[in-house]
Amino acid sequence: MEPLIKVEDIRKIYNPGENEVRALDGISLEIRRGEFAAIIGHSGSGKSTLMNMLGCLDTPTSGHYYLDGKDVSRLSDNELSDIRNQKIGFIFQGFNLIPNLDAVGNVELPLIYRGMGRQMRRRIAVQALDRVGLGKRLRHKPGELSGGQQQRVAVARAIAAQPPVILADEPTGNLDSRSTADIMNILKELHRGGRTVIVITHDDDIARQADRVIRIMDGHVEADYLNEGLSDTQNMKKKREDS
C-alpha cells in the first residue's frame, strides 16, 4: 500500500549564496497511515521546517513531497488550502491562536472554511474543548488563558475537524507533567482511532511513547527506528517489513 507521506530528497535552503542556511539538506522518509511517529533533534536542526513541509505550509527548495500519492508541489494555493483544511490538523510550536476570538471562535476556524453551518460548528468546537478539559473556558480569549490552556485550545482546534493527519510541533513544550500527560493521552487516543500522528519533541519520555522515532540532525535524518515494546499494530508492520 502506498505510504500516506512520502518525502524524496527534500532540501530547504534559506538565503542561498553567502550565509546560506541549509535547514533541510536532503531528507527522505515515508510515513504510513496510522503511524505514531516522534521527530526529535537539537534546536535548530530543522524539525519545524520539516513539519511545515509535511503540513503543506511551506514548499521545499528542491525534492518531492507526495501526500496521499499526490505531488504537493504541483498543487495550486487554493488546493493546498483545502488539503490543510481537510487532511491536516496542525498544532503549532507557538499556539497561533487569534487573540480577539474566544476559545470557541478559535476552535471553529477550520470548520468555517469547510463551509460547515454555525450550529454544527459550535457543537463540534465545544466537544473538542471539552475533550481537552476546557469545557469551562469556552468564552475566554487567548489573553485570558494560561499558557497551558492556550496550548490545549490549539490542540482542540487541530482535532475538532477530525483530520486524518495530526502534526504537532512541541505540543507539550510549555506544559507541566500533568498537562503533558493529558495531551499525550489525547494524541494516543487519536492514534488508536486510526489517525496518523506526528509529534516533534525534545522530551525523550514523549518520544518513547511513539511507535517510531525519527532523529533529525543538521537537516538530515540521523536515525529512524521503531521503539521497544511495540504496540500490536507496529508489530504487524514490523512483520510486514521483515517479510
Partner 1 sequence: MGQFLEYIKMALDNIRSNKGRSFLTMLGIIIGISSVVTIVSIGNGLKSDVVDAANEQTNTVTVQANAEEVTDTQIITGDDIAYLETAMGDSIESVTASSMYVGKCTTRKGTYDAYVTMTTPDYEHAQYASPLVKGSYFTDTDLASGNAVCVIDELTALYLFGNTNVVGMSFELAIDSGIEEVMIVGIRETSDDMMEVEQTYQAMGLGETISIEAPYTLADSFGVPIEGFSSVSITARDAESSGRVASSAVKLLNSRHQDLGDNPFMQQKPMNLSDMLGAVMDGVTAFVALVAAISLVVGGIGVMNIMLVSVTERTREIGIRKALGARTGSIIAQFLCESAIISGMGGVIGILLGGGLTALISVLEIGGIHASLSLPAVIIATLFSCGVGIVFGIYPARKAARLSPIEALRRM
Q: In the complex, which residues of this chain contact Mg ion (CB under 5 A)?
A: 48, 93
Residue of 1, 17, 77, 228 that binds partner 1 (CB under 8 A): 77
- The item of partner 1, ligand ATP, Mg ion, none sharing an interface with residue 117, based on CB under 5 to 8 Å by kind, is partner 1
Q: Is 46 in the site for ligand ATP (CB under 6 A)?
A: yes
Minimum distance from residue 50 beta carbon to ligand ATP (Å)? 7
Give the residue with the Cβ less far from partner 1, 55 or 219. 55
The bridge status of strand 21-31 relative to strand 5-14 is antiparallel
CA distance 55 to 94: 15
List the interface residues with partner 1, window 144-183 (CB under 8 A): 157
The distance of Cα 152 from the centroid of its chain, to the nearest Å, equals 14
Q: Given candidates 9, 16, 28, 44, which one binds ligand ATP under the rule CB under 6 A?
A: 44
Give the residue from 123, 124, 104, 121 showing the smallest Cα distance to 113. 121
Cβ–Cβ under 8 Å, residues 36 and 188: yes
Residue 172 interacts with ligand ATP (CB under 6 A)? no
Closest residue to ligand ATP in the complex (CB): 48
Nearer to ligand ATP, 82 or 203 (CB): 203
Sign of CA pseudo-dihedral 12, 3, 180, 224: negative
**Residue 49 sits in the site that holds ligand ATP (CB under 6 A):** yes
CB 27 within 8 Å of CB 220: yes
Least distance (Å) between residue 47 CB and Mg ion: 5
Under the criterion CB under 6 A, does residue 55 sit at the interface with ligand ATP? Answer: no
| Binding residue count for partner 1, defined by CB under 8 A | 27
Q: Which does 127 bind (CB under 5 to 8 A by kind): Mg ion, partner 1, ligand ATP, none?
A: none
Q: Which is nearer to ligand ATP, 44 or 147 (CB)?
A: 44
The one among 63, 64, 66, 96 contacting partner 1 by CB under 8 A? 96
Give the interface with ligand ATP as residue ranges (CB under 6 A): 14-15, 21, 23, 41, 43-49, 93
Give the interface with partner 1 as residue ranges (CB under 8 A): 52, 55, 57-58, 77-78, 81-82, 84-86, 90, 92, 96-101, 109-110, 112-115, 117, 157
